[in-house]
Amino acid sequence: MTYPRIGLFIDSRWIHDRPPCHDVRNPSDESMLGPVPGAGLQDLEHALQAAQKGFLVWRDTPPHERAQLLRRATALLKERQDEIGRIITLEQGKPFGDGRGEVDRAISFLEWDAAECLRSYGTVIPSGPQQQRMVLRQPIGPVAAFTPWNVPLSSPARKVSAALAAGCSVILKAAEETPGTACAFVQCVADAGLPPGVLNLVFGEPSKISTTLIASPVIRMVTLTGSVQVGKQLAQLAAAAMKPALLELGGHAPVLIGEGVDGASVGRMAAAAKMRMAGQICASPTRFIAHRSVYEDFVAGFAQAAGTLSVGDGFAPGVQMGPLANGRRLAAIHALVEDAKARGAGVATGGHRIGERGYFYAPTVLADVPLDADAMMTEPFGPLGLCVPVESLYEGMELANALSVGLSAYAFTNSLHDAERITRELECGVLTLNSFATPGADAPFGGVKESGIGREGGAESLDAYLFSKTVLQSTARI
């Protein structure tokens, strides 16, 4: 299976001949896929100049032309869906069906923003005679965007699509672990006819890139999807240069399971949701906090369904869960499971690596996890479900809100009274009741507390990339 040649894309030209900063591996068998050229300081300076030049062209491109460009790019993504899905599975490991699904998700973002771009109205403020007062919504300027390896297409697509729709240019620093997908995406947008310099792609040493780009006066806004730790670093760099930052960071989603629900049935649903993308997703349900009366049924249903999932290479027919994306995650999950076991947690299923080649870990459900286990505080970002019994909804909510993060949360209840209270009191950016659904392009996504700042998607999709300019105009002759 062919893997693309990785390059930097600056001012509409691919650059391959730079010393490698990383070697991409297939997480399924640890084989080498190819080197990633790393941007030097001169390349970053070149990208900044290109983004500045591109911005001056793109901000004056009428919204309907920007929307057309995004629609042409969606057509190319659809045309290349199998090819891009294959690259995602090769370098990230998720099952091919999920890789193809990620292409559909990316397309939905571009389609949504193409439409939003035509609706980014300003306002007219009521004024007296010979006065006009209005608020214009203008593109904020060149954007520095940082994206992770777990959603190597949808995260770049979401950020680039909203920025381009708003009239901004972008320097994208995509994850070095999954660069092939980012290259394929950028190629689609370039082939759709984007003017030179409007979208640039770099790889390299992450801290060098973020420090250089964020400090540059060219960059006017920063966006990251990644860990809380990196989010705080970039927020500090942005604050030092007085630039806004849109930060989609980690979670540790609680799932409240109330009295009177069918515990076994919720457990089966939990297995599918938890093990999707091997748990490597920020919205992944993680802390399963169940009322004592349904707890045993829930754990049994969860463990039985998780334990029978088919784990293997993402291209193999019928595989439901692929490997972890890299050796770091395998080591991290192993350490979290061993720590929880040592503190008294029971293994309901899994709890071990699978095979010796590839980063496979068994879908794991731990029961009666003590609250002081590391996994109860650290986002596992892997196929690990943590079950805890509680005596009341109130106790469960206290536990759910106890962490410093608040991204996604889930609750299962047949009580309208409890649902209302959960909705009001749970500290999260996205709450799902009685299912494990997650938001699409049409709803805002983001967190509270340390899970980040700002929202992507929905009616707010373009907001972070626009600023309001208030114009007060006297029409009296002077």
Ligand X SMILES: O=Cc1ccc(S(=O)(=O)O)cc1
Residues that bind ligand NAI (CB under 6 A): 146-148, 150, 175-176, 206-207, 210, 225-227, 230, 233, 248-250, 282, 379, 381
- Which tokens belong to 362? 């068994």
Nearer to ligand X, 122 or 206 (CB): 206
Within residues 48-107, the interface with ligand X by CB under 6 A covers 105
* Cβ neighbours of 440 (radius 10 Å): 14
Q: Are strands 123-125 and 131-139 parallel, antiparallel or unpaired?
A: antiparallel
Residue 432, binding choice from ligand NAI, ligand X, none, Cβ under 5 to 8 Å by partner class: none
**In the set 98, 113, 177, 248, which binds ligand X (CB under 6 A)?**
248
379 binds, among ligand X, ligand NAI, none (CB under 5 to 8 A by kind): ligand NAI
Are the beta carbons of 8 and 38 closer than 8 angstroms?
A: no
Report the residue from 149, 359, 445, 465 that binds ligand X according to the rule CB under 6 A. Answer: 445
Least CB distance from residue 279 to ligand NAI, whole Å?
Answer: 10
367 binds, among ligand X, ligand NAI, none (CB under 5 to 8 A by kind): none
Among 28, 81, 92, 155, binds ligand X (CB under 6 A): 155
Which partner from the list ligand NAI, ligand X, none does 27 bind, CB cut-off 5 to 8 Å by kind?
A: none
Which positions ≥6 away from 6 have C-beta within 8 Å? Answer: 16, 24, 34, 35, 36, 37, 179, 180, 183, 203
223 in contact with ligand X (CB under 6 A): no
Catalytic machinery residues: 248, 282
Token reading at 62: 């009428």
Choices 73-81, 89-97, 146-154, 299-307 (CB under 6 A): range interacting with ligand X: 146-154
Which one of ligand X, ligand NAI, none is in contact with 361 (Cβ closer than 5 to 8 A by kind)?
none
Q: Write the Ramachandran bin of 358: left for phi over 0, alpha for psi from -120 to 50, otherwise beta.
A: left
Quick one: 47 or 390, whose CB is closer to ligand NAI?
A: 47
How many other β-carbons are positioned within 10 Å of the β-carbon of residue 191? 14
The torsion region of residue 2 among left (phi > 0), alpha (psi -120 to 50) and beta comes to beta
Do 119 and 166 touch, CB atoms closer than 8 A? Answer: no
Contacts of 347 (CB under 8 A, 6+ apart): 337, 341, 364, 365, 366, 367
Element at 431 (helix H, strand E)? strand 430-433
| DSSP one-letter code for 229 | H
Binding mask 273-292 for ligand X (x = CB under 6 A): --------xx----------
From the list 99, 466, 455, 100, the residue with the least C-alpha distance to 277 is 99
Shortest Cβ 381–ligand X spacing (Å): 8
Give the footprint of ligand X on this chain (CB under 6 A): 105, 150-151, 154-155, 158, 225, 248, 281-282, 445
